[in-house]
Structure 1
């Protein structure tokens, strides 16, 4: 049986780390022992597990491919690679079930089973993942506050739109998005118009995604 692999890391600093190799290794080992052929690997780079599916570039591409090429199975390393928000998790799973797609988690068997016990267990795991995410956020926030008290500063990078002239760019982004353009097409359009990011670099779909969805910017 053919399947696609879906991998995700939430931070840009994790893109070159162990996350992707570890996930891919687990998926390929599972595939080798379960008669699965991994046709394509989709990497979600620097996208939070609390982000809705429609705002995930790799997931959106994966859904388009699933609807087009006949492959109907997705393999992930574990449930929190799909989502760290219970509502996001269940919305994605419900959408997959509605379209007749199958989701296999290497770490959690029978993930898509519809019996009440399996659903309860899956939702409990999702709730734990969401709780762990919240704890990480709180710990980081506490560390920043302690540093600010100790050193008198710890402001971090200002979000896009903070500096003069950036509001106009955001309005242009919103207008293009409202016109039905995807993040990559918006980036290409901004580059064609000669607009630059804060650092003077060309636009990319991931940067557009983060600005429009309100995710924290890192270097754009």
Structure 2
């Protein structure tokens, strides 16, 4: 005979249980190491013995091995809740070894317990006297509070240990982009990510030159292939955080733990000088190397053109001859790869600009093609928006009718209402997302094309006549990643701005033609 006790009545139900009430068992260990001893088998035996003693039929067992105490990270707990929901009426009890195995936080405990009660399910502990009586509920509250206290004590100890490690220069959190968390045996907390570290270093060093805005840098790092851990391009917020992160200069600084300016136990990706130049650029203050970084009016290509031998930007200076001074671009000390006169290098650069210049006829053709495609795209977008609006209105009307049927007509019950309302809200959300994706940014396409029609065919002349600042902006517009020089000529294929990707000349026999194939992909 099964013992009949008040403890085994379903919550809120004063009737006698069926001959065999259904139960599910939930057991958990909080660290990977505990999965290797008898903790789980011990918990399971105790829970199953409790069920046998109380006459409960164990429908399912859920084993949480080495998972976090956080509910969101506990896959088996989520499976248990789903099982209880889909087997409502069959499951009457959730049995745990003790309440610390169920939740470490009072809020989580009572939130879970309340959800189970809504399904007609009561919580039981194999080692603690809790039930649905007033005394049992009091005991449950006390035990839940002690579980949270135990978790808080552990948290305090963990926090103290983390602070001590930070004081020693160890990084105890997730590694930032460009680093990886190192195994403890290596004696370092971080090691450079072989794939991302060079790109992060390059991004910080390029921004330190003052030649880029954050948005321009974001476009550059995206073109270089820098991605976050999910394989997605960086956001504007992420590039800002990257530029301000002192870890890249080997500095551990965590104000929350009272740790400031500690030397890290890992290899910096950039020098402190570079890091603080970046902060000066971000704050709008003039960096200490401002004259060199901003350029000299006599040498507009300074820093923009790189030496093929060492990869560093060229500098420029005047050399005194017998009777006059001569201007030269040359590489920095330690490399003799480039030493070229100012006139020759700038003449070669003008030729590169001339090579990109489209004919007037081509510009007219480009303008007509772009405007036609833009008009077609706008018409298509308007049609998609109208369709999405109609769908959203139709779904909203269904929701309104559903509300009326439930609230005023009382023709449907709460379960039917919830099921249909949730489905309709999901559909409405998806339609709104789709509507947002179809919206086109408002652009003055005709104005942009008119500007391009005036500027692109005269790029070389405009560069020669422009001021230093205007020349540098032209250079960045035409060749955003700079150019490489081997001492005689520009080498490699310089990365041009997107507009020029569709104006590159191609050879066909003895004629220089312009390839029109680039128009369609970028404008349609």
| TM-score bucket of the superposed structures, by smaller chain | 0.5 to 0.7
| Aligned-pair CA distance for 1:7 | 0.9
Secondary structure at the aligned position of 2:36 is classed as: coil
Q: Deviations over 1:64-111 (max 9, x none)?
A: 222333233211111111101000001001111111012211122233
| Aligned-pair CA distance for 1:147 | 5.8
Aligned to 2:230: 169
Contiguous gaps of at least 5 residues in structure 2: 1-19, 179-195, 197-225, 234-425, 427-524
Aligned to 2:129: 109
Contiguous gaps of at least 5 residues in structure 1: 173-178, 180-220
**Cα separation, 2, equivalents of 1:90 and 1:56:** 17
**Cα separation, 2, equivalents of 1:76 and 1:63:** 14
**Cα separation, 2, equivalents of 1:39 and 1:109:** 23
Aligned to 2:138: 120
| Aligned-pair CA distance for 1:27 | 0.6
**Cα separation, 1, equivalents of 2:152 and 2:177:** 26
**Cα separation, 2, equivalents of 1:162 and 1:13:** 29
Structure index of larger Rg: 2
| Aligned-pair CA distance for 1:148 | 6.2
**Cα separation, 1, equivalents of 2:37 and 2:227:** 31
- Match for 2:39 among 13, 16, 19? 19
Secondary structure at the aligned position of 1:121 is classed as: helix
| Aligned-pair CA distance for 1:170 | 7.7
The residue correspondences of 1:1-220 to structure 2 (distance < 5 A) are: 1=20, 2-49=22-69, 51-52=70-71, 55-69=73-87, 70-111=90-131, 113=132, 115=134, 117-146=135-164, 152=168, 154-156=170-172, 158-159=173-174, 162-163=177-178, 164=196, 167-169=228-230
Higher relative contact order (CA 8 A, sep 6+): 1
* Structure 1 residues 23 and 160: CA distance shift in structure 2, 3 A: farther
**Cα separation, 2, equivalents of 1:55 and 1:94:** 20
| Aligned-pair CA distance for 1:126 | 1.2
* Structure 1 residues 56 and 148: CA distance shift in structure 2, 3 A: closer
Secondary structure at the aligned position of 2:230 is classed as: helix
Equivalences, count: 166
Secondary structure at the aligned position of 1:72 is classed as: strand
| Aligned-pair CA distance for 1:146 | 4.5
Q: Deviations over 1:107-142 (max 9, x none)?
A: 22233x153x44333222111111111111222333
* Structure 1 residues 14 and 106: CA distance shift in structure 2, 3 A: same
Q: Deviations over 1:138-161 (max 9, x none)?
A: 223334544666xx35444x5276
**Cα separation, 2, equivalents of 1:89 and 1:170:** 36
Q: Is the Cα contact below 8 Å between 2:129 and 2:136 reproduced in 1?
A: no
